[in-house]
Structure formats: C-alpha cells, structure tokens
Structure 1
Amino acid sequence: MTRIAALLLGLMLIVASLPARAFETLAGAAWVYDVTTGTVLLAKNADEPLPPASMSKLMTLNMLFEALRDGRVSLDDRFAVSSRAAAMGGSTLFLDETDRPTVEELIKGIIVNSGNDACVVVAEGLAGSEEEFARKMNERARSLGLTQSTFANSSGWPHPNQRMSMHDLGRLAVRIITEFPEYYGYFGLVENEFDGRAPDNRFNRNPLLTMGIGADGLKTGHTQEAGYGLVGSAVQGGRRIVFVLSGLPDAKARAEESRRIVNWAFREFTLRTVAEKGKRIAEAEIWLGTASRVGLVAAEDLTILLPSLSQERLTGEVRYTGPVEAPVAAGQQIAELVIEVPEMDPVTVPLVAERDVAAGGFATRLGTAFGILARRVMAEVAG
C-alpha cells in the first residue's frame, strides 16, 4: 500500500502577484532562466526558430572555445584573412588581407565589435571554408541538443537557413558560461579597438554592461528581419540569470526591456532552503526490522527558487510504499517529498533513511506474526 503523510512545511511565502508566466514582455520572443537553480522563469515563443542575427555568433565562439580547450589552437595562434573575409560588410574590424590577427584578437573582435569579418576568419581558420564551418556548426548543434537551430554562415548574416530559437540561444549561453569560464570574461569588455581602426565601432553594444546591475555578457543582434535582440546574463546575490530577447523595434527598447527583465528576475523571485541535509522530515514504517520506524531525511540541502510576494503557503507531502521491508541501509532512498509551489510546477525531493535498520531475527518475526494474528482476532471480535 502507498503511505502518504501530509507535511505542512509551515513556511509563509511572500509570493508573486505576477507569477512568471504572467509577466508581459514587449519582445516578440523571449526566454529567461535562473542558472543557479535550473528554473525557467519565462518562455514566450521560445522554441520558434527565428533569424538570430549576430546573436548566432555565440555558436561560432563556442566552436572556437572548444578548439582552444582541445588544444587545436591557442590564443596566440594567428589566422590569415582571406579576400572573402576582408569584403564582409556590416559590423567589422576592418581587416585586410595583410592582417594576421591572433585568436584572442578575433575573440575580442567578435564579442565587442561584432566583427563579421572576424567570424569568417575564424570559420576559415578552423574548417578551411565558411561552408564547411557551417556544416560543422549544424552537426555540433545537433549533438548539443539545439534542436531548433540551423546555420548557413558564421556571422549571423541574413540567410533563410540561419535560424535559432530563444531557448537554444539561452542554452548555448549557459554552456559558454559554465563550460568555458576561462574565456567568459571577454564578454564583459566594454570596448576593443583592433590596430587603431574604426574608433566609432570600438564599444560593446550590450547596453547592460554599464548599468551597474551585475550584467557581464553576452551578445546583441540586429537585422531588419530579426529586429533588435540580446542574449544577456547577470549575477546578483549569488544568483545568475540568462535571458534572450528578440524582435524589439530599436536599440532603446532593447536596453529598456533587458533592464526590466533583469530587475524582475531578481526582485520577484527569492531562494529558499526548504529541506536541510540530514534534518528529519518524517518517519517511515519498517517491516520485520530491529526497529519499527526509521527517520527520513534529505540527502542534500534543497534550495528552490520561489516567487517572492505571495501570501499562500508552501505545502508538501511525503510519499512512499510501505511498510518498508528490512534491512534498510542509511542513505537508502525509500521515500520522496513532493512540494507544491503556488503558480509553479511541483518539486520532488528524494528522501533517504536516517540510519541502518537491520532485519529482525526469529523473535522479531514471531512477534510480528503474533501481532498480525492479534489484530485479525480483534477485528473479528469487533465485527
């Protein structure tokens, strides 16, 4: 039989009057994610493949960071500049065919200056041609689970086959932050100038970097088809969020909506520890053991993200199939705590035995048998 013990956690939560799904963003598509807890705070048209503009440069950078990690290139390696790369329009480093930029210079040029020419240099340097590099980008995207992404070039230049969803862009951003911390600092650079060229294009277009709200990346994008977009990340109070916005009408709207998203994500949600490692939460009945009950504890601290302005109570229940037959080992999972969070999906926490409970000997089994017999007799007499 299933044993269910209701457990009021008794935490009075200040919950959001506007839960995550009710937040209204001006962006045509958006995805907001709390990296610290793995919680999606907002998804709007998040899985629709859209033109990503220069935000897709994150995939080019991911490919380059992987090459650095694997030892195929180093930051000091120099790449040749082809006539094709030098002829790129849009945002550029104004590279020419006599240049031999280092990998580090190219990274800065892609992140800060959004250099389309720098992207082509990287593509040709790693794969021989941009076409081959795009093929490898598609192959790698599939292996990373970016199911709504296709690439035709390295720069995000408009093309019908250059598409990414906001969800995929956000997942890619999280990957760069967590997998390549040694290179992530480049995303926080406010300006970069290659060899004194193009002084008007030396500033990072990410409007959040100078707002003092903990922002440290990642990449803007804009084309006529895509509108204005941003893949951003910020840290406050030990929490990190990643967000992606697309389809905004101008740079001002992009800056204002990005700031609004960051403020909302940090102010409207708070971290709460709802179960402490080793602290008894409930007990489970034991069958044929040296003890009739065993304490149930969380194997690890459980901290979850909760809306921070509601008067509703957080509740939970402990579920297990029991009585649990002995022997039981300390740390053995025998139950789960299901926590109901207002306006969010339930959270399930595994619960483990607090201590060992050995199987009982002959006397225990005999006593259990007499106990069962006695209860049956009493039930018959009562009936």
Structure 2
Amino acid sequence: MLALMCLAAAAQTPQPPEIAARSYLLWDTTANQLLAGREIDTPVEPASLTKLMTAYLVFDALRSKKIDLQQRLPVSERAWKMPGSRMFIDPKMKVPVEDLIKGMIVQSGNDATVALAEAVGGSVERFVELMNEQAKALGMKSTGYRNPEGLTAPGHTTTARDLSILATRLLQDFPDYVGYYALKKYRYEGTPTANDTNRNMLLFRDPTVDGLKTGHTEAAGYCLIATARRDFPNVGGRRLVSIVLGASSENARANESQKLLNWGYTAFEAVKLFDANQAVVSPEVWKGAQNVVKLGRPQAVVVAVPAGTASRLQTQVVRPDPLVAPFAKGQAVGTLKVSAGGQPVLDVPLVALEAVEQAGVLGRAWDALRLWIK
C-alpha cells in the first residue's frame, strides 16, 4: 500500500460529521487517502476486530496451499471451551476450513477462530507470534496481539490507523476470499438456528456495504470496520473503509459508520488522473539501451478532493536529473505532486513501468561525453 497522506489545507477540507465514538477513521482505498479521523493513534482494545488478522493469516495459508477450503479440521477441547461468541462446534466434529472461516466471520465464533489458529500455527501460541510478525510486516507499528480471537488481555491493543492498514491490505491481498465478509447469514449443520446472523447491521441496510467486521467487549465498547463500494462514472468503483471504535451500542456503531461512509462519498469526489500503467512522463535516459523511461503507476492514479474542486487540480513531477540507466521495472524514480488551488493534496511515488537496461560500452561512452559537455 502506498504511504500517501492527505495534506489538503484545513480551510479547504470538508468538516466531518460528529461521530459518537471514542475514535474513528475514514479511509479512501481507491485514492489511498485519509479523509477524516479522530484519535487515530490512541491505543484501543480491538475485540473481535482481531479476527481480521487471524483471517489474513488463514487466507495466506490457503494461498500457499498449507490448508484448503474443504479440509476437515479437528475441534480441540481448547476451541470447544472458548468463552464469548461461538459457532457451537465440539470435539465430536471435524469441520471444513471454509465453514470455520464462515463461523469466524459471520458468527464471530471464538471456537472457530481457535480451531483455525491451531491448524495454521500448530498451536495458538505460535499463531499469535505469526500475528505479531505479520503486523510488523504490514507496518502496524502500534499493534500487539495476545490471542487470535480478541478477548481482553494485557497488551492486546491496536489503533484506528493500524486497523485501516490491516483492512486495506486484507481487501487488496485476498480478493478471492473477502467475499465471506458480505455473508448475511450462516449456520453450521447441527448448531443452534438462532445463531446465524451477521452482526454487521449495514449489510442489511446499505446494498453497497460488503464487509467487514464487528467487535465488542466491555473494555472496547462496540466497534465496526465497514467497507462500501459505490460506482461513479469517472473512476468506476470507489471503495471507502470506515472504522468506528468504542460506540455505545450495536445500533450506534452502525449509525455512525453509515454517517461516515455517506459523508465521504458526498463531501469528496474521486478524480482519476492517470490509468493503470499509463506513463505520466517519459523523461530522457542516459547510458541506457532505450532513450526514455516511462514513469507511472501499476494502479490507476486517483485523488480524492473536496467536492467541486476538481477543476483546480494541478500536477508536478519531481525526479532526479539526469536519469542514468539501468532501471528495474517497478523501481521508484520520481514523485507526482498533486495540489489544488495551490495547496498540496498528496504525493504519489512514480515507478519505472518497464525495465531499462544499460547500453553497450560505446553507448555509455558516448552518453558520458554528452553529459560532460552538458
């Protein structure tokens, strides 16, 4: 994920609505911009939002074929006796991985979560080590995990900023699996029928919402990471992620999340500046097998700006000069600086869209002479 930061001047930035929660954050994943937030670096208990990291590691194990969806896993005594929310599996069962994933996501089952953690990590303790290693790898600098399910434990904390990193990477890295978060109902055969409804109320209220996860403990309050994708003619699908932490009730976390999402879509407009793999600039290259290097992004370059200000956008490319080969494909070479009305909005790193090899001995010698003369 690009480390982009919204730098719009306060006078130009739309003021977010009042959000009744301890902390909140609204992230535009299409533009890779922070649209609003409060207390985003304050440590909080993540409750069952912890299960997003558990899912990240489970999805990674599926991708690497360490486990597969139809594989039946045993239910340990430890998993069976887990307190809190459960999918109500027991040691007499062997449950397919896919059902355990659904139980962890839809029913927020602590028993399903532990069964998956034991399968992927070999033990819960080793799995927690993997969770913390992955958090560090993703850049979640203020997160510490003590368990895979989210029950209150000393040192088991995160921040809204870190949760936005995790949610965004989960969506980007595992598009084949995140569809589970849109499931409204699920129940494993032989378990109670009253325990089959996703606690994310926005799945039932807003057809554009397709995830992600709820959480609640006495210490954490009511939490929700919600994501929605709405179509717009200029950029296609635009995805936002809202994070509401420490609300007073299930209904309150849903209402405040909906308020944030609706505000984000109306207060800001998305503008696509360049298509994926489109050259932003093609500057001259010295001592290269090619004369130019195409600089751009493998993803579309999209910026979110206050509604009605798109016509004021300006761009500037900052890069080293001269550019001397070789350049590897994907190598960072310059920066696209985007401003609106003279105020900086964001910086986008530009990379070489194609490799540029060194020229031969004669070509390098000729360019060395030209550079000396220049």
Q: What is the TM-score with the length of structure 1 in the denominator? A: 0.74
| Residue correspondence of structure 1 range 83-122 to structure 2 within 5 A | 83-122=77-116
1:150 aligns with 2:149: no
In the alignment, residue 340 of structure 1 is paired with which amino acid?
A: S
In the alignment, residue 100 of structure 1 is paired with which amino acid?
A: K
| Residue correspondence of structure 1 range 8-47 to structure 2 within 5 A | 19-20=13-14, 22-47=16-41
Q: Distance in 2 between matches of 1:209 and 1:131?
A: 33
| Residue correspondence of structure 1 range 296-375 to structure 2 within 5 A | 302-309=301-308, 313-314=312-313, 338-341=337-340, 345-347=345-347
Identical counterparts, % of pairs: 35
**Counterpart in the other structure of 1:75:** 69
Q: Compared with structure 1, are the counterparts of its residues 133 and 273 closer, same or farther at alpha carbon in structure 2 (3 Å cutoff)?
A: closer
> CA offsets, 1:88-144, max 9 Å, x none?
121101111101111001000000000011111112222232122212211222222
Q: Compared with structure 1, are the counterparts of its residues 334 and 31 closer, same or farther at alpha carbon in structure 2 (3 Å cutoff)?
A: closer
SS at structure 2 position matched to 1:169 = helix
How far apart are 1:22 and its partner, in Å?
A: 4.9
**Counterpart in the other structure of 1:232:** 226
**Counterpart in the other structure of 2:356:** none
Query: Contact conserved, 1:56 with 1:169, CA < 8 A, in 2?
Result: no
SS at structure 1 position matched to 2:184 = coil
Q: Distance in 1 between matches of 2:320 and 2:65?
A: 52
In the alignment, residue 203 of structure 2 is paired with which amino acid?
A: L
**Counterpart in the other structure of 1:268:** 267
Q: Compared with structure 1, are the counterparts of its residues 171 and 338 closer, same or farther at alpha carbon in structure 2 (3 Å cutoff)?
A: closer
Q: Distance in 1 between matches of 2:122 and 2:98?
A: 19
Q: Which moved more, 1:271-280 or 1:148-157?
A: 271-280
Q: What is the TM-score with the length of structure 2 in the denominator? A: 0.76
In the alignment, residue 214 of structure 1 is paired with which amino acid?
A: T
How far apart are 1:217 and its partner, in Å?
A: 0.6
1:259 aligns with 2:258: yes
Gaps of 5+ in 2: 1-8, 232-236, 282-293, 324-331, 353-369
Query: Contact conserved, 1:341 with 1:347, CA < 8 A, in 2?
Result: no
In the alignment, residue 305 of structure 1 is paired with which amino acid?
A: A
**Counterpart in the other structure of 2:245:** 246
Query: Contact conserved, 2:86 with 2:111, CA < 8 A, in 1?
Result: yes
Gaps of 5+ in 1: 1-14, 281-296, 326-332, 353-364, 366-383
Q: Compared with structure 1, are the counterparts of its residues 100 and 29 closer, same or farther at alpha carbon in structure 2 (3 Å cutoff)?
A: same
Aligned residues: CA RMSD: 3.9
How far apart are 1:18 and its partner, in Å?
A: 7.5
How far apart are 1:346 and its partner, in Å?
A: 4.7
In the alignment, residue 265 of structure 1 is paired with which amino acid?
A: G
1:216 aligns with 2:210: yes
In the alignment, residue 345 of structure 1 is paired with which amino acid?
A: V
**Counterpart in the other structure of 1:379:** none
Structure number with greater CO (CA < 8 Å, separation at least 6) is 1
SS at structure 1 position matched to 2:177 = helix
**Counterpart in the other structure of 2:363:** none
Q: Compared with structure 1, are the counterparts of its residues 264 and 213 closer, same or farther at alpha carbon in structure 2 (3 Å cutoff)?
A: farther
Q: Distance in 1 between matches of 2:296 and 2:113?
A: 47
How far apart are 1:164 and its partner, in Å?
A: 1.5
**Counterpart in the other structure of 1:162:** 156
Q: Compared with structure 1, are the counterparts of its residues 268 and 95 closer, same or farther at alpha carbon in structure 2 (3 Å cutoff)?
A: same
Q: Distance in 1 between matches of 2:333 and 2:123?
A: 56
Q: Work out which of the two has the higher radius of gyration on C-alpha atoms and give 1 or 2.
A: 1
Equivalenced residue count is: 331
